C-alpha cells in the first residue's frame, strides 16, 4: 500500500512530462529522461509516509547537477571545451557542500482523520543534519523555503525546499568529511514533527550505470566523476 501511494505521488508530481519507453528524439531527450528517471527512482526508495504526510529528501550530487544542466549547454551550442569549462565552474562550489531537495506533501484531504497541517519553521536549517554511520554529523547551512510554502495543508499541499549541507565536521580539532570512512549517511529532518525522521542513503550516492547517456559518461570520466563520493 505504501509503495503504491508513493508511486502515484511521484507520477502525479514529477513524471508528467516523462514518456517512459519512448524512442529518444535527441540527445537532449535522452538526458532529460535519464535525469527524470533517476530522480523518480530515488524518491521511490527514499520517501516516507507518516500519517497523512509524505516526505523525502534527495541529495543533488555533482553528477545529477551536471545531467540537469547539460541540455542547456547543448541548446547554447557550447563546444566540448566550453562544456568542460562550464561544468568545472558549476561543480566547484560543491566540493565542501551537498545540496539537496526536501519535499513535504499532504496526502490527505478535508475528510482525512488525524493531522492535516504542518508548519515549516523559519529556522528549519537549525533542525536539519546529515550523519555518518558513527553518529558524527554536519549541519544544514541553509533552507530556502519558498513564499507561501511555510505551511503544508489542504490548500497548499506541497512544500519543495532547497537545502544545503556542509560536508565538514570537527573531530579532534580537525575538519573531516562526513562522506569519508562511512558506509552510509542519514539525513535527519527535524522541526516539522515527524517521528521517524531519518532517511538513509548507502554510499556511494552515484555510480556510472549502463543507462547513462554517452555524452554524460564521457563528461563524468573526463572530470573524474565516475562515482560519488
What single string gives the DSSP state of each residue in 20-38? Answer: TTPPP-SHHHHHHHHHHHH
Please enumerate in sequence order all residues whose Cβ is within 8 A of that of 81, keeping only pairs 6 or more positions apart, or say none.
Answer: none
Locus of grid cell 529556522: 123
Buried b (16+ CB within 10 A) or exposed e, 10-40: beeeebeeeeeeeeeeeebebbbbbbbebbb
Residue 189 · residue 197 · CB < 8 Å: yes
Residue-wise pLDDT for 70-107, tens only, equals: 999 999 999 999 999 999 999 999 999 999 999 999 99
The C-alpha cell at 205 is: 550516492
- pLDDT attached to residue 189: 98
- Residue ranges in the chain whose pLDDT is less than 50: 15-24
Q: What is the pLDDT of residue 18?
A: 42
- pLDDT value at residue 172: 85
Instruction: Give the pLDDT confidence of 132-143 residue by residue, as tens digits.
Output: 999 999 999 999
Overall pTM surpassing 0.85 (yes/no)? yes
pLDDT at 228: 97
Instruction: Note the pLDDT of residue 64.
Output: 97
Please name which of 104, 201, 91 lies closest in space to residue 161, comparing C-alpha atoms: 104
> What pLDDT, on the 0 to 100 scale, is given for residue 148?
86
Strand-pairing partners, residue 105, are 54, 158
Amino acid at each position: 500500500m505504501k509503495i503504491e501511494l508513493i508511486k502515484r505521488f511521484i507520477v502525479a508530481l514529477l513524471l508528467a512530462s516523462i514518456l517512459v519507453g519512448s524512442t529518444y528524439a535527441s540527445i537532449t531527450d535522452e538526458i532529460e529522461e535519464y535525469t527524470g528517471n533517476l530522480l523518480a527512482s530515488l524518491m521511490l526508495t527514499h520517501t516516507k509516509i507518516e500519517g497523512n504526510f509524505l516526505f523525502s529528501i534527495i541529495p543533488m550530487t555533482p553528477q545529477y547537477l551536471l545531467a540537469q544542466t547539460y541540455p542547456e549547454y547543448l541548446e547554447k551550442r557550447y563546444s566540448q571545451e566550453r562544456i568542460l569549462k562550464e561544468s568545472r565552474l558549476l561543480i566547484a562550489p560543491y566540493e565542501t557542500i551537498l545540496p539537496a531537495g526536501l519535499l513535504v506533501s499532504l496526502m490527505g484531504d478535508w475528510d482525512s482523520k488525524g493531522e492535516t497541517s504542518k508548519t515549516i519553521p523559519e529556522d528549519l536549517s537549525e533542525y536539519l543534519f546529515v550523519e555518518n554511520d558513527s553518529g558524527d554529523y554536519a549541519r544544514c547551512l541553509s533552507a530556502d523555503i519558498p513564499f507561501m510554502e511555510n505551511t503544508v495543508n489542504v490548500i497548499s499541499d506541497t512544500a519543495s525546499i532547497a537545502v544545503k549541507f556542509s560536508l565538514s565536521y570537527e573531530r579532534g580539532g580537525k575538519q573531516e568529511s562526513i562522506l569519508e570512512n562511512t558506509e552510509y549517511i542519514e539525513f535527519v529532518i527535524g522541526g516539522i514533527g515527524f517521528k521517524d525522521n531519518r532517511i538513509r542513503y548507502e554510499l556511494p550516492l552515484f555510480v556510472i550505470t549502463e543507462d547513462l547517456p554517452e555524452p554524460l559518461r564521457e563528461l563524468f570520466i573526463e572530470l573524474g566523476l565516475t562515482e560519488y563520493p
